[in-house]
Amino acid sequence: MGEVDVRPVTGIGVSPGVAHGPVARLAEPPRLPETDVPEADVPAALERARAALAEVAAFLDERSAQAGGEAADVLLAQSMMVLDPALPDRIRARLEDGRGLAHAVADAFAGFRDALTATGGYLAERAADLDDLRDRTVARVLGVPMPGVPDPGHPFVLVARDLAPADTAVLDARKVRAIVTELGGPTSHTAILAKSLGIPAVVACADAAGLADGTPVLVRGASGEVVVDPPDSLVEAAEAEAAAQAAALAASSGPGRTADGVPVALLVNVGAARDLTAAAAADSEGVGLLRTEFLYLDRAEEPTVEEQRRSYAEVFAAFAGRKVVVRTLDAGADKPLAFVDHGDEPNPALGVRGLRLARRHRRMLDDQLTAIAAAREESTADVWVMAPMVSTPTEAADFARAARAHGLPVAGTMVEVPAAALRADAVLAACDFVSIGTNDLGQYTFAADRMAGELADLLDPWQPALLELVRITGAAGAAVGKPVGVCGEAASDPLLALVLVGLGVTSLSMAPAALPAVRLALAAHTAADCAALARLALTAPDAARAREEVAAAAKQM
Ligand SMILES: C=C(OP(=O)(O)O)C(=O)O
Ligand SMILES: [Mg+2]
């Protein structure tokens, strides 16, 4: 970088692109008064608390309406938590114990959090959201602004310790040029959201803590570099690079191909009915992962076969003539269903989830396959089905048999458990295709909870051990000529996509916004380039080195 001293700080790049601008930090949570004075008028204080809770709920509802997509559901769920009648009861009890209002609110949330944590599973994960809701409510009773995304009146680089769903849901890509967070991992919702908005983002950047408001920074979302006080020459070069990249992206279209014409199907992930229009409009070859959970979660009763049929028919109509890979229900454990008895699970991620739920509730799987088959009958979409959380060839065979018995001709399985990758040859002998879910495969390979921001380095999809499991699976697919897809977040990283193709992956499924960059990267590299990059990544000592070495080598190609 010439004579100028530019030492970037680094994190994990989770959304590609180059951007620069002054730092604006997420507004800090309010501080509780140091001395706690009892409220003279408890009923009046309780009324203020109720008003603050209502204000926070209204704020979340408004953001939910603006957000759309999965973010809208998260925000609505949060708004319901704030309106839980247990909260005012807890606040009243604290006020009557002699606490001041702000402390009473904070204590009440802490008690509520403990109660949720004790229930385990999905609700326990939601408990972390309560800290954000507590801060917003305390800010309102203290009469200070709610913590959250700043609006300095000009474009900025948003820097935060971490981002709550309420913050990320309404980020405006015209104002937020890039995102840098201290915490968060490659599969965190910050990463997924930044990618879907096309905002360059770096997570797990410990040095972000030292970035003060107004500091100019240049962010490289692909490599995870953040250059502090970048010299003009570097900014100009980055701007030229970004403009060239934008022009190239806008010009890229059509099916995925390597530079020497090897087809790599480019597909989209769809997780909610409301994402459908945008997903169908994207230049893709179809849906590589339809997450059907949206039909089952957050409802008191099981959807009927007819209701399911209508939903699937809507998706198939939007993708008429294209491929749609429907994943059967991936509930259980961290995503419990209100209408199913899940039993007591001390270790939810290792419990009865995904296809395992069919051991207890076989009829639910049969009903879902019936509905998918009925919707397929009336459509021109090329409908494939696949099962989540498959661990053995026997499970894969059982699922494929069930699918065929329902008149569904193409049945596959997800590879999300190391056991399925290690026996990919036998799994593939038992079904028609596999799709690698790198989010869960990373979690189970590294024994690291995918929600744990602190373990982000272990969950990095560039981890060579994870790539080794992809290699085994890819080789098994190549040996028998059956498709091997990737539908986890790894597929949306243009550089990693090259490595995956080099490991034998034949299709990549991702957020629609990520497609053009992946298409462009493929078009610039031959299959032999991809294989060489894959060898580099596999032999690197860790994820960071794998990424660095592949980036350097790809530039020379
Ligand atoms: C695609 C995957 O499934 P989900 O993220 O829905 O668990 C995965 O695990 O990589
Ligand atoms: Mg998964």
Q: How far is the CA of 12 from the centre of ligand 1 (A)?
A: 20
pLDDT tens-digit profile of 525-557?
999 999 999 999 999 999 989 998 999 999 898
Indicate if the pLDDT at residue 187 is higher than 80: no
Using 50, 70 and 90 to split pLDDT, how confident is the model at 475?
A: very high
- Give the residue, out of 195, 414, 446, 509, with the most ligand 1 atoms within 8 A of its beta carbon, to mutate for a pocket test: 414
For domain 257-556, say whether CATH 1.10.1060.10 is its number. Answer: no
In this predicted model, which residue has the larger pLDDT, 390 or 222? Answer: 390
In the three-class reduction of DSSP (H, G, I as helix; E, B as strand; rest coil), residue 203 is classed as strand
d(CA 267, CA 507): 7
In the three-class reduction of DSSP (H, G, I as helix; E, B as strand; rest coil), residue 358 is classed as helix
List the CATH code of the domain at 9-27+148-247: 3.50.30.10
d(CA 274, CA 280): 11
Atom of ligand 1 at shortest range from CA of 437: 10
Indicate if the pLDDT at residue 4 is higher than 60: no
CATH 1.10.274.10 in the chain is located at: 42-142
Give the pLDDT confidence score for residue 1 in this predicted structure: 39
Residue environment code for 478-503, b if the CB has 16+ CB neighbours within 10 A, otherwise e: eeeebbbbbbbbbbbbbbbbbbbbbb
Indicate if the pLDDT at residue 291 is higher than 60: yes
Where do the DSSP E strands lie in 85-212?
Answer: 156-160, 176-181, 201-203
Indicate if the pLDDT at residue 3 is higher than 50: no
- Site residues for ligand 1, CB cut-off 6 Å: 289, 291, 330, 416, 437-440, 487-488
Give the pLDDT confidence score for residue 2 in this predicted structure: 40
Give the pLDDT confidence score for residue 5 in this predicted structure: 54
Give me 97's structure tokens.
Answer: 């114990």
CATH 3.50.30.10 in the chain is located at: 9-27+148-247
> Of 111, 123, 120, whose CA–CA distance to 78 is shortest?
123
d(CA 124, CA 112): 11
Q: How far is the CA of 460 from the centre of ligand 2 (A)?
A: 15
d(CA 375, CA 369): 10
- The ipTM assigned to this model is 0.99
In this predicted model, which residue has the larger pLDDT, 17 or 335? Answer: 17
Using 50, 70 and 90 to split pLDDT, how confident is the model at 116?
A: confident
Give the pLDDT confidence score for residue 538 in this predicted structure: 98
Using 50, 70 and 90 to split pLDDT, how confident is the model at 514?
A: confident
Using 50, 70 and 90 to split pLDDT, how confident is the model at 64?
A: confident
Report the phi/psi class of residue 483: left, alpha or beta, with left for phi > 0 and alpha for psi in -120 to 50: beta
pLDDT tens-digit profile of 165-182?
667 766 787 899 999 999
Give the pLDDT confidence score for residue 328 in this predicted structure: 98
Which ligand places an atom closest to the C-alpha of 335?
Answer: 1
Please name the residue ranges forming H helices in 214-259: 232-251
Give me 76's structure tokens.
Answer: 């609505």
Q: Is 342 a catalytic residue?
A: no
Could you tell me which CATH class the domain 42-142 is placed in? mainly alpha
d(CA 449, CA 104): 33
Give the pLDDT confidence score for residue 125 in this predicted structure: 60
Q: Is 20 a catalytic residue?
A: no
> Of 436, 439, 356, whose CA–CA distance to 398 is shortest?
356
Beta bridge partners of 22: 216
Which residue's CA is minimally distant from atom 2 of ligand 1?
437
Give the pLDDT confidence score for residue 190 in this predicted structure: 75
In this predicted model, which residue has the larger pLDDT, 14 or 7? Answer: 14
Atom of ligand 1 at shortest range from CA of 187: 5
Indicate if the pLDDT at residue 274 is higher than 80: no
Please provide the average confidence, as pLDDT, over all residues in the chain: 90
Indicate if the pLDDT at residue 76 is higher than 90: no
- Among 60-69, 250-259, 313-322, which stretch is predicted with the lowest mean pLDDT? 60-69
